[in-house]
Amino acid sequence: MRIPLADIRYLDVRRNYVTVHADRDYTVKRPLGEFEAELGDGFCRVGRAMIVNLRRIRCVGRSSVQLTDGTTLPLPRGAYEPLNRAIIDQT
């Protein structure tokens, strides 16, 4: 299934499955690293288990990131600076 990149909000891993959160959720058995290689510069890997669409971020705090649709995602320790840098580099 093809999903437009602009529709993807974030991807996360549960066990061996990646869930792509877009207009609806799609779960596939595939490594997150493969998605990371295909998604490109508009996305940032946050820790070991999540990739976020930088265009869908409303605000970033030290322990969480809020998306434009109101979803709040936890940030792992040490993820704030790299995510902030990716947002700055994107603009």
Question: 3-state class of 34 per DSSP?
Answer: helix
Q: Would you say residue 86 has pLDDT above 90?
A: yes
Q: Would you say residue 90 has pLDDT above 90?
A: no
Contact of 75 with 83, CB cutoff 8 Å: yes
pLDDT score recorded for residue 40: 87
Question: What end-to-end distance do the CA atoms of the chain give, in Å?
Answer: 30
pLDDT band for 56, please (50, 70, 90 cuts).
very high
- For 2-44, how does the pLDDT look when each residue is reduced to its tens digit (9 = 90+)? 899 999 999 999 999 999 999 999 999 999 999 999 998 899 9
Contact of 67 with 10, CB cutoff 8 Å: yes
List residues bridging with 44 in a β-sheet.
52
pLDDT band for 60, please (50, 70, 90 cuts).
very high
What span, in angstroms and rounded, lies between the C-alpha atoms of 81 and 39? 21
What span, in angstroms and rounded, lies between the C-alpha atoms of 26 and 75? 22
List of domains in the chain: 5-90 (2.40.50.1020)
